[in-house]
Amino acid sequence: MKYPRWALAIVLPLALCVTGHASPATLETRGLRISIDRASGDIVSLTAHGVEMLAQPSRQWVVRLTDPASRQSQWLDSGHARATEVSVGAGLIRVRSILQDAGVTVEAVWKQDASGGLTARCSVSAPPKAILESVTCPVLKLRATVDGDRDATRLFMPGGDGFIATHAGMVKNPWAGRSYPGWASMQFMALYGARGGLTVQGRDRQALPKAFEAPYDAGSDMVEMRIVHHLPFVLGRAFATPTALLSACGPSWQSAADIYKPWARRQWWARRKTGDAAPPAWLSTGLLTMGGHLRPFGMGKRPVEADQWPEVVRRLKEAFGASGVLLDLREWEHDGIYTSPFYFPLYPSDEEVKRILASVRPLNARATAMVSGLQWMIERKAYTTDTYNVTAFDGRERFEREGRQVCVIGRDGQPDIAEPYFTWDGAKARMCPAHAFTQAHFPATARRLAEAGFAIFEFDQMNGGQCPPCYSSDHGHEPGPGPWMREAISRFMAATRKAGRAVSREFATSLEDPCEVYLPHLDTYISRAGHT
């Protein structure tokens, strides 16, 4: 039967709320109300400021269990449970599900929070014969058109400085997911309209590996907002998710940020820096950024010839009234742009780079070196135009000889090798951050760059500290995702800054795209808008 549109508008909210025989268990806080079906444990209604946010009943969690021998996985939710029990206490709802075939019990607990939101935690018992690879909680199937107004609907995701997608942007780019620590710079996302909406936030002081995801489904005009916790590849280990907070927010990303900010500023990564930990003062003097290449373009010329740098910097300062200039100097690597990890001797030579940088220093100009992060370049084809010049590189033999043992091993037991994506790109692996080579590589590189006169060491091409998990058993860490990743990256970031500042007190560290947990080791960062 075909129903008129007005009838669907009445029937749908009722369908969300009446899936069991008994009335749903309900929690309500300031502006937020959640209802959970007592039979299935599904979330059947979620309102923010009186607006229904849920598109359809939502399973609260998903667990990924993997057979250690075959490495085949199954994804299970409460629909696979032999039994589900919902109990209600003072200001909380507890949902306990038994996955009999897997030998696992899952308990989700919702509580009223003093901040005015609702907290969610999910505990999974140790699977006796499987690896618990991930736990996804919460899982919220939300209406992608908030309050019936597509034009006013916005999705905020925590990439870089944060990016916003309109409804049209979600349709165009349906995938929205950011791993943390890494591409996600902070622990919150939000979906809102003209009257406000919902923010889902992490409250994880340990900064364990996870992903903030909100993919769009065009068929149902739905956003599935979820936090996926990625776990070590270890047999028979239980896991309890860090607290997640759901809160009603206003009609802007700033409103969601205001909810997150008080908690974030109390964390260890947000402490005020003083003394040697503070960024060098010159970073706050109002700098104008200027790009430049040391290697000739395809036409045979450089944008600025070696002896012209002082005059170009002087005239640029005069034209813009800038007190200083930050040179984004490219093509200093020995084998061409982004060819990592063997950069030295510099191009065209250590002495020439040092002379160029020294020539502009009296004009209050300093240079950034974009160091290619964890990348190990294996092979790259040449790409040349009049105004571009990417040199060919063949490092296959050296990779087999030296790199394979250093680099990230994928879940399949093979090196994680990425194929070229851009014209300047090549086939590359990534150094495992915990490997001894990697830990020594960054401070040694910082020392030589500082000696050449570079003032900023930027960890490039590992946005937000992004790194794929390593499953090697030979690198001194647990296989798969784990806190070891953040700890190892933090160690070499701190060592890099220390090595550079031993050469020059003006030396600073930077990162392509920020991530809050690495702020203690950074003096600055670069980022870009990503709105759709």
CATH number where 430 lies: 3.20.20
Question: Is residue 11 predicted with pLDDT exceeding 70?
Answer: no
pLDDT at position 424 is: 81
The C-alpha atoms of residue 481 and residue 468 are separated, in whole angstroms, by 8
Residue 524: pLDDT above 70?
Answer: yes
Q: Are residues 252 and 229 in the same domain?
A: yes
DSSP string, 293-352: ESS--TTS--SS-GGGHHHHHHHHHHHHT-SEEEEEEE--STTSTT--S---SPSS-HHH
Sign of the torsion angle spanned by Cα atoms 500, 516, 366, 388: positive
The total domain count for the chain is 2
| Interacting residues of 10 by C-beta distance below 8 A, sequence separation 6+ | none
pLDDT, tens digit (0-9, with 9 covering 90-100), for 42-98: 999 999 999 999 999 999 999 999 999 999 999 999 999 999 999 999 999 999 999
In terms of pTM, does the model score above 0.85?
A: yes
Q: What is the pLDDT of residues 460-512, one digit of tens each?
A: 999 999 999 999 999 999 999 999 999 999 999 999 999 999 999 999 999 99
DSSP string, 254-276: HHHHHHHHHHHTTSGGGPPP-GG
**127: preceding bond cis by omega (within 30 degrees):** no
Structure tokens given for 110: 């919702």
Q: Tell me which of 240, 266, 292 is where a domain ends.
A: 266
Q: Is 4 inside any structural domain?
A: no
Q: Let me know: does 433 contact 488? Beta carbons within 8 Å.
A: yes
Specify the higher pLDDT residue, 531 or 191. Answer: 191
pLDDT at residue 8 greater than cutoff 80: no
Radius of gyration of the chain measured on its C-alpha atoms:
26
> How many other C-beta atoms lie within 10 A of the C-beta of residue 230?
21
My answer on whether 113 and 57 are in the same domain is yes
Whether 254 is in a domain gets the answer yes
pLDDT in tens, 376-416: 999 999 999 998 889 999 999 999 999 999 999 999 999 99
Distance of CA 407 to the CA centre of its chain: 21
pLDDT average, residue stretch 144-150: 98
Among 204, 237, 266, residue at a domain's last position: 266
Domain limits for position 173: 12-266
Looking at the fold, whether 416 and 499 belong to one and the same domain comes out as: yes
Q: Tell me the per-residue pLDDT of 282-332, one tens digit each, with 9 for 90 and over.
A: 999 989 999 999 999 989 999 999 999 999 999 999 999 999 999 999 999
Asked if pLDDT for residue 531 goes beyond 70, the answer is: no
Last residue within a domain, chosen from 216, 240, 266: 266
Which of 28-37, 414-423, 436-445, 487-496 is predicted with the least confidence, judged by mean pLDDT? Answer: 414-423
Q: State the average pLDDT over residues 15-41.
A: 83
Q: Is the pLDDT higher at 8 or at 135?
A: 135
Region for 230 from its dihedrals, namely left if φ exceeds 0, alpha if ψ lies in -120 to 50, beta otherwise? beta
Q: Does one domain contain both 302 and 209?
A: no
Average pLDDT, the chain: 94
Asked if the structure places residue 53 within a domain, the reply is: yes
In this predicted structure, what is the pLDDT of residue 423? 80
Domain co-membership, 344 together with 257:
no
